[in-house]
Amino acid sequence: MSQIQDYPSLFSLAGKTAVVTGGSRGLGLHVATGLILAGCTKLIITSRKASACADAVRSLQALSTKATILSLPADLSKPSEVERFVKELTAVTDGKVDILIANAGATWGEAFDTHSDAAFDKVMNLNVRSVFNLIRLCTPLLENAARQSSEKARVVTVGSVAGLHIGGIGQYGTYGYAASKAAVLHLTKHLAVELGPRGILLNAIAPGFFPSKMASGLIAASGGEEAMAREVPDGRLGKPEDIVGSIVFLCSRAAEHINGAVLPIDGGKHVVPSGVKL
Ligand SMILES: NC(=O)c1ccc[n+]([C@@H]2O[C@H](COP(=O)([O-])OP(=O)(O)OC[C@H]3O[C@@H](n4cnc5c(N)ncnc54)[C@H](OP(=O)(O)O)[C@@H]3O)[C@@H](O)[C@H]2O)c1
């Protein structure tokens, strides 16, 4: 007989403290919702706009009376703000974070010939540099959590299939964004090796298209949701449950031997050979 220990707790996040950047809307709000429903008892979200954060906290708090849900607004594109955020985070978590989801990100779509240095800098800065700084400064908090628990701490970075294959070229070229997402996927693997021995597992998700404020412009420019869905092997775009299922799994005991992985969540579009019409 197989010796599976305590199956009911395998996918549970009961009692965990989690942090979600960009948790005020879109994928980050889906993630925050899933973490609360999976049992996290402390959740801290952040984004630049305090009022959007407060609205999100209110909607999340309605899901659980047991959990403490807070927001610490910060502009993570600035290193000084990342430092301030982690200082405040340390105070409200007693220096212990089990789960960090580095989700906040920005994109830029513009033709190659006019694609400016400022646009490139904006996306590389938030999508890569700030993710590195955030993980580096949160490492003592994650190590504390791992020391106080029988489970390893988790970091999940939010990359994109844009970092796996060539997507946006032409009028809405996403040159900096694609490079930033390839970079964050590679950074995640690099840090999985660095931090695994320190009790922290790092994995990345690489979503395809999910309707959100960020994606809406590109979805409209690509002919709308239905047209885009026809190009996906499972016939649809992403929905909240797709993100939640993957994140909860990667943060749970079920994924305790998964480190340095990149999980595409795109219905199989990234493996469609070029030129193949579905
Ligand atoms: N939607 C998709 O189809 C898709 C596909 C692949 C990957 N992704 C990735 O998923 C992540 C979330 O995307 P989304 O579609 O949910 O985008 P979104 O709707 O634009 O949400 C972005 C979130 O990040 C926050 N944010 C933006 N700039 C920030 C900054 N400088 N400091 C702190 N927070 C900041 C935003 O809040 P504030 O404006 O208040 O700061 C918001 O909460 C991104 O990393 C994106 O690249 C999305």
Average pLDDT over residues 267-271: 95
Number of the ligand 1 atom closest to the C-alpha atom of 105: 45
What percent of the chain stands above pLDDT 90?
A: 91
The answer to whether residue 276 scores a pLDDT higher than 90 is no
Question: Closest residue (by CA) to atom 20 of ligand 1?
Answer: 214
| Ligand 1 centroid from CA 233, angstroms | 26
39 Cβ closer than 6 Å to some ligand 1 atom: no
Edge-first strand listing for the sheet containing 99-102 = 68-71, 42-46, 17-21, 99-102, 153-158, 200-207, 262-265
Query: CA 199, CA 192: separation in Å to the nearest integer?
Result: 10
The answer to whether residue 275 scores a pLDDT higher than 90 is no
Q: State which residues form the domain around 13.
A: 9-266
- Helix, strand, or coil (residue 1): coil
Residue 2 lies in a domain: no
157 Cβ closer than 6 Å to some ligand 1 atom: no
| Ligand 1 centroid from CA 162, angstroms | 15
Residue 274 lies in a domain: no
The answer to whether residue 277 scores a pLDDT higher than 90 is no
The answer to whether residue 52 scores a pLDDT higher than 90 is yes
Residue 275 lies in a domain: no
Query: CA 99, CA 154: separation in Å to the nearest integer?
Result: 5
How deeply is 3 buried, as exposed, middle or buried, from its count of CB atoms within 10 A (0-12, 13-18, 19+)? exposed
Q: What 8-state DSSP symbol labels residue 273?
A: P
pLDDT at residue number 170: 87
Catalytic residue IDs: 177
CATH number, domain of 160, equals 3.40.50.720
Residue 4 lies in a domain: no
Q: Are strands 17-21 and 262-265 parallel, antiparallel or unpaired?
A: unpaired
| Ligand 1 centroid from CA 22, angstroms | 6
pLDDT tens column, 58-88: 999 999 999 999 999 999 999 999 999 999 9
Residue 272 lies in a domain: no
DSSP code per residue over 30-69? HHHHHHHHTT-SEEEEE-S-HHHHHHHHHHHHTT-SS-EE
176 Cβ closer than 6 Å to some ligand 1 atom: no
How deeply is 8 buried, as exposed, middle or buried, from its count of CB atoms within 10 A (0-12, 13-18, 19+)? exposed
Residue 271 lies in a domain: no
pLDDT at residue number 166: 87
pLDDT tens column, 163-189: 999 877 888 899 999 999 999 999 999
Residue 149 lies in a domain: yes
77 Cβ closer than 6 Å to some ligand 1 atom: yes
Residue 278 lies in a domain: no
pLDDT tens column, 95-146: 999 999 999 999 999 999 999 999 999 999 999 999 999 999 999 999 999 9
- Total domains in the chain come to 1
165 Cβ closer than 6 Å to some ligand 1 atom: no
pLDDT tens column, 15-46: 999 999 999 999 999 999 999 999 999 999 99
